[in-house]
Structure 1
């Protein structure tokens, strides 16, 4: 049998590429011939399977092949994300409605659906009023645990980092606001913001009059080494569906680099799969800063112990071998019931 991955160049990033490679490995273990195309100029037959990661690509493949053997990965809940990014304007509502129609179509007819969390599966089943048996759940991640970064000697004392873009649901302003409170209570802290959105990032830093803050962009290939310098990393989120169902790769990046994450306790998959024990710096509310800041002041970081805590998470959750098996089993179960 053959499976064709339709992944246009503009659909590729560090998260999607890693995920796609996991799926490829699973199908190679199933003895499939694996092919990848960035356009629809490929040959196929009625028994072939297809894999897509965006709604528009699923639709292109369906109308090219009229196949019911399309496997789809949901990176997020697209209609809701589009509405939030565009602040709910009339045009955004209309486009979000169109995305919802596409999502409904895919959800109903895909041979196999892959979600990043159980919450995402539950959200879509509730939204479209149908329970689906043909699914698999694999979190988003793209980094392996690196023991050499768990060393106090490479860390800048009282250093904090924010890595990533500045979309509305990523709570950048709340992050800056929290750090401004940290500055008042911790001796000589520093904040580094690693982003492409430098101008926007600078505006917020000026608004809150931060003292020691650096803003710059680091290419993906150098990101791990750069992150390894810092002690704490911000991953704040609001308690909304977009965040409840997600599995941000930022958590994986921070932990792989020996960074203690400061994060909101609203991501359901992290509640179930990430136990940081004494290194837990989660916020139940975005305004509950005092308790968290006191924990930061009081903590004495034993990096050997922190590594062992993270190793358990990577062994059980961010584990390629386990996740390839889960992908394989999801396909086999669906194929047997076809």
Structure 2
């Protein structure tokens, strides 16, 4: 039995978040095994809640203090403990590490640095301590990029745990999936949220400066953001939409370029945005502010800078797409190698897709 310290997403709204998408992706690997999900809180769940999701998944919502011994009992029964983020690892720290049971922490991101980016200095300080204590108590950490591995090596110089790289992945493992003839010339797209790291204002400013009939911009936002931004007084060649994932993919198939204007900072340097993978799958060339996003620069990503799109210095799009298809294949190999290592250390037979073929 595998015990996950993580909230298991149940409704459709919960499943949209980045954290929950990662949880479901990892969960899909273990779908043939019994799993328990522990959602632990210090303030909520005065009474234990138990939800049977399926014959393989049970969700427990428990109070860290009142249900201490129940959590301890479930930990002792486990064959593997998997912590999703240091935020959930915090709920595991009060317990002694069971003998002969391996403990994995999937880091997801660099939480202390993310807090510092939002000027949350106290929270950053606390999570630095939690992160350090977590690393002392686990056998393995899972990082979403090699740059994240380098970050933790440089930050802590610890040898008490092993590192595995498993980038953000989904069940869709296709290589470039598009028809060049269906592309609308020079259509630029962005589909996603408006979190601070997305630099939404910079994307809109760029679109307002350079969009034209021959260079239209199409923004897909969640409904609440769509209502806000669609009322902005912007260039007539900027379009706003909201819709399903299928609607967005349909527009990806028609688009030439995808916006991803991330800043050059540690949070982005170690990240693995699914957006870039989606762009490559559908033959879009990323328009970037900084090329240092996760491992993509080292993998050979072809991109266009803000300067280049402003000055129409585009280059050979077909060549860029061919190179990016090879980048995508290398990226998939990173995933495959990481999952193979996870299979070995977990002792579980995992179910995953390898370059379009189920293993």
Considering the TM-score relative to the shorter chain, is it more than 0.5? Answer: yes
Which runs of 5 or more residues in structure 1 are unaligned?
A: 333-338
TM-score (norm 2): 0.72
Correspondence list, 1:1-338, <5 A: 2-9=1-8, 12-13=15-16, 15-16=18-19, 19-20=22-23, 23=26, 33-37=33-37, 38-39=59-60, 43-45=74-76, 48-63=79-94, 66-67=97-98, 69-85=102-118, 88=119, 92-131=120-159, 133-142=161-170, 143-145=172-174, 149-183=177-211, 188-196=214-222, 197-202=225-230, 206=233, 209-263=234-288, 264-276=290-302, 280-281=303-304, 283=305, 289-290=307-308, 293-296=311-314, 299=316, 301-302=317-318, 308-319=322-333, 321-329=336-344
Which runs of 5 or more residues in structure 2 are unaligned?
A: 38-58, 63-70, 348-359
Runs of 4+ in structure 1 off by over 4 angstroms are 10-28, 305-308, 329-332
CA deviation vs aligned residue, 1:235-258 (integer Å, no higher than 9, x gap): 111111111111111101111122
Partner Cα distance (1:150, 1:105) in 2: 46
Q: CA deviation at 1:77?
A: 0.8
Whether contact under 8 Å (2:269, 2:292) holds in the other structure is yes
Counterparts in 2 of 1:290 and 1:231: CA distance versus 1, 3 Å: closer
Q: Which has the higher contact order (CA 8 A, sep 6+)?
A: 1
Q: CA deviation at 1:295?
A: 2.4
Q: CA deviation at 1:78?
A: 1.0
Aligned length: 305
Partner Cα distance (2:149, 2:160) in 1: 9
Whether contact under 8 Å (2:102, 2:346) holds in the other structure is no
Q: CA RMSD in A?
A: 3.2
SS at match of 1:294: coil
Partner Cα distance (1:323, 1:71) in 2: 13
Partner Cα distance (2:94, 2:134) in 1: 12
Partner Cα distance (1:26, 1:308) in 2: 30
Counterparts in 2 of 1:12 and 1:110: CA distance versus 1, 3 Å: farther
Partner Cα distance (1:117, 1:161) in 2: 25
TM-score (norm 1): 0.76
